Amino acid sequence: MAETTVTIRVDPALKAAFSLAAETRNRTEEDLLREFMQDYIETQRTDSEYEQWFRRQVQVGIDEADAGVVIPAEEVEAEFAARRTAALRKLPRSA
């Protein structure tokens, strides 16, 4: 694979600290920077995929609401009241 050079300007103290951190881990600065770049790209990809999924889910909800496919608030309240009651029953009783 062909490679290219990237040049950046950083504060000397940051450069020194980064060099020391790389050396401490028996790694080169280049290796660490390459890994950081790869991790950043992967994070951006997965964040984008999640955002796309989330937008689709929101649209599904909007479409269902527009079509009248909704659960009445009273049913939701009753369901979660029952869940709270069941959860409270499972708690140990204090003396």
What does the pLDDT look like over 65-93, one tens digit per residue? 999 999 999 999 999 999 999 999 999 98
Task: Decide if 2 is inside a domain.
Answer: no
Task: Decide if 48 is inside a domain.
Answer: yes
Task: Decide if 32 is inside a domain.
Answer: yes
Helix (H) or strand (E) holding 18: helix 12-24
pLDDT tens by residue, 4-37: 999 999 999 999 999 999 999 999 999 999 999 9
Question: Coil, helix or strand for 71?
Answer: coil
Dihedral sign for Cα 81, 86, 87, 89, please: positive
Task: Decide if 60 is inside a domain.
Answer: yes
Report d(CA 44, CA 51) in Å as an integer: 10
How many residues belong to the chain?
Answer: 95
Contacts of 22 (CB under 8 A, 6+ apart): 28, 29, 31, 32
Identify the pLDDT of residue 93: 83
Task: Give the count of domains, the chain.
Answer: 1
As a whole number of Å, the CA-based R_g of the chain is: 26
Identify the pLDDT of residue 94: 74
Task: Decide if 23 is inside a domain.
Answer: yes
Amino acid occupying residue 18 = F
**Domain span at 83:** 12-90
Task: Decide if 7 is inside a domain.
Answer: no
